Amino acid sequence: MEFTLSKKAKNFTLALMGSGLLLTVIGLVMSMGDHHFKTKLLTNGLINSFFFFGIALGALFFLALQYATETGWYASVKRVIEAVAGFLPYGTGLLAIVLLVITLMDGAHIYQWMDPSTTDPSSHHFDKIIEGKSAYLNKVFFWIRTIIYLAAYLVFWRGFRNRSLEEDRIGGTEIHFKNYKKAALFLVVFAVFSSTSAWDWLMSIDVHWFSTLYGWYVFSGIWVSAMVVIVLLTLYLKKMGYLPNVNDSHIHDLGKWAFAISFLWSYLWFSQFMLIWYSNIGEEVVYYMMRIENFKALYFGMFLVNFAFPMLILMSRDAKRNVGILTFVGVVILAGHWVDVYIMISAGSLGANAHIGALEIGLVLLITGAFIRIILMNLTKAPLTPVHHPFLDESVHHEI
Amino acid sequence: MSDKVIYAMYDDDEVLKDGAKKLVSKGVKIAEVFSPFPIHGIDPIIGIKNTRLGIMAFIYGLTGLLLATVGMRFFMVTDWPMNIGGKPNFSYLDNILAFIPITFEFTVLCAAHGMAITYMLRNKTLPGMPAQNPDPRTTDDKFVMEIRLSENANFSESDLQTWLKETGIIELDQKEIN
């Protein structure tokens, strides 16, 4: 069945973008004369471009995971996953533009190591620790890495999408086995890149500090956000009368993923926090001191919501099959993970000067509107049920 | 009370499933199915209720959580407070992070062991218990359906046997049990 954008969806996304734009402009005007104006604007750009880019990347990873494990049940929701992953080119563009502007402004107080004075021994901004890291953290190498990450993700995405559409036309199992091999390769590449890109784009904001676990923590965050978006989109399509092959068992399985990955995220967050708390070394605790000093309620509140909500509410089998409960928990933890990214970035760049105001909310609404619109447009470009997927029959009869 | 049991043997799980559907639609009550592996979708056909093992797992887990908390509160704070890594155990709440991993492990331990033992008790398959299985071949490649006459008082024995034979069985056996 072909998907068409309803008038309501068009108006809703337009309203989101419109109100977002209005709030953004108000926020911009309000903070125009602000001393931190540029840093604030770029921090917000980085937060939102990374968050939505991350959702698309998480969906791409999830798709590759299904190919590599030759999963059957997901075939009926494959196009939903692809639609979310289809935001990747737009997210990549957005992220690249924000990173480029930040680089041209010598870090804009977000990436301190981009400021030439920090590695200049004659300057009073000279920083010995940053100088020690400058073999890895310098503009040229940063961009070489960034371009490699983004290009690799885009090439894999294009390949998966083209083969998926080709499978609709010609069928057979050859494409399936090709996807299987490419997906295995992607997972290996992604295992390295997801960690290193998190160090480059996010961890280097707190440039003195490092944690080897950070990459997995960021990765689990984007994965759970992607799962939640996939669940919400599936529920929406189901409600609109599409996806006749998707039954309670598929929804249950998607709910299980959202539930399980919430645990993975909480586990990694806690592991990092507890080890640093226990060893209590000045160089390490500084990261948490900055967050506890300026964002105490928001930081721990975000952790509690992202951990306790899915754990307590989604634990039972019936809850994972209930549309209302899934939607409610999904929206709440999606917001929770946005706050996670917000604190991850602004605690290092703005610190005490960060607060959630008109600009922050406006930009989220604006990009959310565009994000939803693009995802729904992606859905219209291919049949909602893959025509010749080799496991389609298994998926139709999925029952747990 | 003595009862008569009919054992119908199949060599294919799909044939058994189709047969069970036909019998149930006639109103026959099937007491049990023995199979070397779980047959997907047989539960709703022969009317087996959803398992309550998950609820028990939650209760066992909660027990573990409470036991671990109370235990560590007593060992590490009340009875013998130690200073570990510059963090003296004067208060449980201040040092709660240090206790969470053990609480988690003990919760999982209690839930997993409790579930396994409950499962084996309920199925009467604890090590050393006599086998409930009517035919050793059902642990290899055969499937047996068990029908009790006392539960099917509306039907005659010969009717049941005729219907069973129509479903593609390979062997029919019956036994008196007390």
Mean pLDDT estimate for chain A = 93
Mean per-residue pLDDT for A374-397? 91
Q: How near does any CA of chain A get to the CA of B130, in Å?
A: 32
pLDDT higher than threshold 70 for residue A318: yes
pLDDT bucket at A293, cuts 50 / 70 / 90: very high
pLDDT at B44: 87
Partners of A319 on chain B (C-beta within 8 Å) are none
Nearest alpha-carbon partner for B138 in B177, B178, B164, B171? B171
Q: B97 — contact with chain A (CB < 8 Å)? A: yes
- Sort out which chain A residues have CB atoms less than 8 A from B101's CB and list them: 274
B interface test, pick of A252, A275, A277, A315 with most B CB neighbours within 10 Å: A277
Integer CA distances (angstroms), B171 to A47, A181, B33, in order? 69, 47, 15
Contact A399 B100 (CB under 8 A): no
- pLDDT digits 0-9 by tens, B49-58: 888 898 999 9
Chain A residue with minimum CA distance to B50:
A317
Residues of B in contact with A278 (CB under 8 A): 85, 87, 97-98
- The amino acid present at A12, given as its one-letter code, is F
How sure is the predictor about B158, in pLDDT bands with cuts at 50, 70 and 90? confident
Task: Give the model's confidence band at A167: pLDDT under 50 very low, under 70 low, under 90 confident, else very high.
Answer: very high
**What is the C-alpha to C-alpha distance for residues A202 and A196, in angstroms, rounded to an integer?**
10
Contact between B98 and A274 using a beta-carbon 8 Å cutoff:
yes
Domains defined along chain A, listed by start: 37-352 (1.20.1630)
Q: What is the pLDDT of residue B50?
A: 83
Mean pLDDT for the stretch of residues B147-176? 87
pLDDT of the residue at B43:
87
Residue A354 pLDDT > 90, yes or no? no
Q: What is the pLDDT of residue A32?
A: 81
**pLDDT in the model for residue A305:** 95
Task: Kindly identify which residue of chain B lies nearest to residue A397, measuring between CA atoms.
Answer: B41
Q: What is the pLDDT of residue B90?
A: 85
What's the pTM?
A: 0.90
Kindly state the average pLDDT of the residues A111-115.
Answer: 93
Closest Cβ opposite residue A399 in set B41, B54, B100: B41
Of A339 and B166, the structure prediction assigns the larger pLDDT to A339
Q: In chain A, which residues touch B (CB < 8 A)?
A: 270, 273-274, 277-280, 315-317, 399
Which numeric CATH code is attached to B3-36+141-177? 3.30.70.120
A114 sits in the region (left: phi over 0; alpha: psi -120 to 50; else beta) called: alpha
Q: Which of B17, B55, B56, B97 to mutate to test the interface with A (most CBs of A within 10 A)?
A: B97
pLDDT at A1 > cutoff 80: no
**Tell me, what's the pLDDT at A50?**
97
pLDDT in tens, A46-78: 999 999 999 999 999 999 999 999 999 999 999
**B85–A280 C-beta distance less than 8 A:** yes
Asked if B98 reaches chain A (Cβ–Cβ under 8 Å), the answer is yes
Which of B41, B54, B98 lies at the smallest CB-CB distance from A278? B98
Total residue count of chain A as it appears in this document: 400
Q: Quick check: B86 pLDDT over 90?
A: no
**Minimal Cα distance from B84: which residue of A?**
A278
Decide if A277 and B85 are in contact by the 8 Å CB cutoff: no
Tell me which residue has tokens 């086995």. Answer: A177
Over residues A182-214, the pLDDT tens digits come to 999 999 999 999 999 999 999 999 999 999 999
A271 to chain B: closest CA residue: B101
From the list A363, A317, A90, A329, the residue with the least C-alpha distance to A227 is A329
Pairing, β B171-177 against β B3-10 = antiparallel
- Please, what's the b/e burial string for A298-310 (b: 16 or more CB within 10 A of its CB; e: otherwise)? bbeebbebbbebb
Task: Give the tokens for residue A280.
Answer: 């209590």
A277, A316, A399 ranked by CB distance to B97: nearest: A277
Query: From the CA of B110, how many Å to the nearest CA of chain A?
Result: 18
Residues of A in contact with B54 (CB under 8 A): 316-317
CA distance B153 to chain A (A): 34
Q: What is the pLDDT of residue B114?
A: 96
Residue B1 has pLDDT above 60, yes or no: no
The mean per-residue pLDDT over the stretch A377-396 comes to 91
With cut-offs at 50, 70 and 90, classify the pLDDT of residue B2: low
The domain locations on chain B are: 3-36+141-177, 53-122
Mean pLDDT of the region A83-106: 96
Q: Helix, strand or coil for residue A159?
A: helix
Using a pLDDT cut of 90, give the percent of chain B over it: 40
pLDDT of residue B178: 62
Is some CB atom of chain A closer than 8 A to the CB atom of B96? no
pLDDT value of residue B155: 86
Under the banding of pLDDT at 50, 70 and 90, the label for residue A366 is: very high
Residues 18-77 of B with CB under 8 A from A: 40-41, 54, 58
**Partners of residue A280 in chain B, C-beta under 8 Å:** 85-87
User: What is the reported pLDDT for A363?
Assistant: 95
Mean pLDDT of chain B: 89
